[in-house]
Structure 1
Amino acid sequence: MSVRVGILGATGAVGQRFIQLLDDHPTFDLAAVTASAESAGETYREAAKWRVDTPIPDDVAEMEVAETTPAGIADDDVDLLFSSLPSGVAAEVEPAFLEEGYVVSSNSSNDRMAADVPLTIPEINPGHLDLIEVQRDERGWDGALVKNPNCSTITMVPTLAAIDEFGLESVRVSTLQAVSGAGYSGVTSMEIIDNAIPHIGGEEEKMETESRKLLGEFDGAEVSLHDADVAASCNRIPTLDGHLENVFAEFADDPSPEDLREAMRSFEGAGDLPSSPDQLIKVYGDDEPERPQPRLDRTYADGMGIVAGGVQSTDAGAKYNCLAHNTIRGAAGASLLNGELLVEEGYV
């Protein structure tokens, strides 16, 4: 089965990752790329300042960039759209596509916590995708909108899903986030070199709310948030890619460090999608307490996996570290997986 896809906001950092990940994809064929009105009509090579570590695919380089409107891609016969638009733009643009009947898998942060929008990690909560039926009834459109979580949330939540069997009650997390998470112009060199920034606007709230929605229960009509108490402190550090997070968790039970490591290692999640790793979470043991590290571990499973380590007991529960590639698994790759799930479940 071949599915024709388009990318909304294809010239930005996440849009470029989409193009990289879609190259030679077994199901998706890239049929349309969009950007701002200023870039419309240019070839992709002319419009994009390419920064990804592999060359622009030749066929994409010569594609004509369309304006990011339904009319801009109306003649391209697209089955599925991936959105990497800034949230303010996406809030205005995505509904126009949805009202025209497009199915959109979006990395943009708008509407992630909307009651009728599935916020999905396919290995964690694929059943939440059926919120689309509620969404269509509530909003009266034929399209469908699914969101993936924030890059820092998606680093932590798979590990929490794996150890929730021990009665997860409380989570405290401090992040060390790469500069690419802010976009190419988000943090200047003068701000971040020889420095760390102990605040990322809106990031803490995203982690605290999105994680509870992802781990929540869907009853066919609505998602009940997980009742764990989650608090986050988010920090920017001078690494290029890879978010490292220090997690402190409390449980109703009393799992040992080996119980927690084994739960993470054996966690299979749900489904068998083309871009999902064979082993979602790689776990380092006591013999390698200095891992994971961004430079050494961010490309685990081609950047689509989660890496954990440093698992120890504390008086209140346990602590550990986790890491993911923030622009692959944490952004474009997450939307790509949601697109694969939409195909598998018959929404595309």
Structure 2
Amino acid sequence: MDKVKVGILGSTGSVGQRYVNMLESHPWFEITVLSASSASVGKKYAEAAKWVLDSSMPETVRDIVIQPADPDALKREGVELVFSALPSEVAKIVESQMVEAGFPVVADTSAHRMDPDVPLLIPEVNSEHLAALDEQRKKRKGIIVTGPNCTTIGLAMSLKPIQLKFGIRRVLVSTMQALSGAGFFGVPSMAILDNLIPYIKNEEEKVAQELLKILGEYQGGFKFANIKVGASCHRVCVLDGHTEAVFLETVEETTPEAVKECMREFKGEPQRLSLPSAPVRPIIVREEADRPQPRLDRMSGTPERARGMATVVGRVRSEPALDNGIKYVLLSHNTIRGAAGNAILIAELLKAKGLI
């Protein structure tokens, strides 16, 4: 099988580097173009990218010359699929240009997440929302699918099996978010050492809005889920891995054991299709009293290509302060499952379904 030639927009940033790392020797995709800001154009990737991951920069990309984020530049190199990790302030324009030029685009950015015809996708949770692409094709030459905010992904993953089996009325979540979610230069060291920052701009609003779109239905248009959502988001001194304390009310009465069972049994279309980056178990339930922990659990997921793709849940308990109340703690790797890994899984799903 010939590999699909891909271009990565925003390739030198922390999420862009995660794409590069995860696409190395991918069985279906081949990195053909790396794009970045005008200051990096013309430089070799090894010179332009300040590599921040704990693994080494792949040798196969070191000498690739950075191209501008221009559709014509990508077309000249035969690119067939575009991944976008662009800064939000430029993403809306550039991603739209790529779609109008006929490219399929999978984006991590927030620019198009809430557009009325754009799927906001977690492949295990709402793959049926890809039906919206039929509407896109009527108006655009290409297509665009977006991934949610890194905080939303683990939350929606953990809630989906509960929603399917018991229904959900209300969700309250308090997050403890890793530094990498703000980018390499996002939080000054003197601001976060010996500290916690109880505010992340626009994060709480994103979580509430995105969750309702993801857990809703697509019937010729998106019908948002009828769930009340409240969020409080905090930046903590952890490198990778978002931890979230979740409190919820179910429609039907349930028990912690029943919730754990439905989470363990949950699988989605990526698992049924055996996609390369799909974790065998998208939700891993831990029984230890002190798990999950970022340092111990953020790279959970099998096989090897799916490391960091599983959502880890622990401390599942009843919550007597809520009607039919359940509470638990979850952990999700914010730059793997929460960003590049989810986008790559989306692309695998698109290819498996013949949509690219």
CA shift for structure 1 position 268:
0.8
Deviation per residue, 1:215-274 (Å, 9 max, x gap) = 11111x111111011110000000000000000010111111000011111101223321
Q: Does 1:306 align with 2:308?
A: no
Consecutive unaligned residues of structure 2, counting only runs of 5 or more, are: 302-306
- Corresponding pairs, count: 343
Partner residue of 1:213? 213
Q: For residue 328 of structure 1, what is the aligned residue in structure 2?
A: 336
1:66 corresponds to = 67
Deviation per CA, 1:285-328, whole angstroms, max 9, x where unpaired?
Answer: 2xx11100011100101101100000000122110000011001
Query: Which residue in the other structure is 2:326 paired with?
Result: 318
What percentage of aligned pairs have identical amino acids?
Answer: 46
Q: CA-to-partner distance for each residue in 1:193-217, whole Å, 9 max, x for gaps?
A: 0110111001101110111111111
After TM superposition, give the deviation of residue 162 of structure 1 in Å.
1.2
Q: CA deviation at 1:342?
A: 1.3
Map 1:265-304; keep pairs closer than 5 Å: 265-271=264-270, 272=273, 273-285=275-287, 288-301=288-301, 302-304=307-309
Question: For the residues of structure 2 that align with 1:35 and 1:312, how far apart are their CA atoms?
Answer: 46
Structure 1 distance, partners of 2:286, 2:96, is 43
Specify every segment of 5 or more residues in structure 1 that has no aligned partner in the other structure, as ranges. Answer: none
Structure 2 CA distance, aligned partners of 1:130 and 1:34? 30
Amino acid at match of 2:72: A
RMSD: 0.9
Q: How do 1:158-197 residues align onto structure 2 when only pairs under 5 Å count? A: 158-164=157-163, 165-197=165-197
2:133 & 2:210 partners in 1: Cα distance?
18
Q: Any conservation in 1 of the 2:6–2:81 contact (CA below 8 Å)?
A: yes
Q: CA deviation at 1:278?
A: 0.3
Structure 1 residue 80 and structure 2 residue 81: aligned? yes
SS of match in other structure, 1:98: helix
- The 1-side partners of 2:120 and 2:347 are apart by 13
Deviation of 1:341 (Å): 1.2
Structure 2: which amino acid aligns with 1:314?
E
1:66-145 residue pairs with structure 2 within 5 A? Answer: 66-137=67-138, 140-145=139-144
Note the C-alpha offset of 1:20: 0.4
Give the match's secondary structure for 1:303.
coil
CA distance in 1, matches of 2:68, 2:329: 42
Rounded Cα–Cα distance in structure 1 between residues aligned with 2:16 and 2:133: 24
Instruction: Measure how far apart 1:284 and its partner are.
Output: 1.2
Counterpart-to-counterpart distance in 1, 2:75 and 2:285: 46
Partner of 1:264: 263
Partner of 1:39: 40
Q: Distance in 1 between matches of 2:54 and 2:28?
A: 23
Normalised by the length of structure 2, the TM-score is 0.95
**After TM superposition, what 4+ stretches of structure 1 lie above 6 angstroms from structure 2?**
none
2:304 corresponds to? none
Amino acid at match of 1:185: F
SS of residue paired to 1:263: helix
2:171 equivalent to 1:155: no
1:74 Cα deviation (Å)? 2.4
Provide the rounded CA distance (Å) in 1 between the counterparts of 2:147 and 2:119: 8
- How far apart, CA to CA, are the structure 1 residues paired with 2:202 and 2:46? 33
Whichever residue aligns with residue 63 of structure 1, its letter is: I
- Name the counterpart of 2:29: 28
Q: Is the CA contact (8 Å cut-off) linking 2:52 and 2:184 kept in structure 1?
A: no
Cα separation, 2, equivalents of 1:292 and 1:345? 34
- State the shift of 1:71 in Å: 2.3
**Equivalent in the alignment of 2:253:** 254
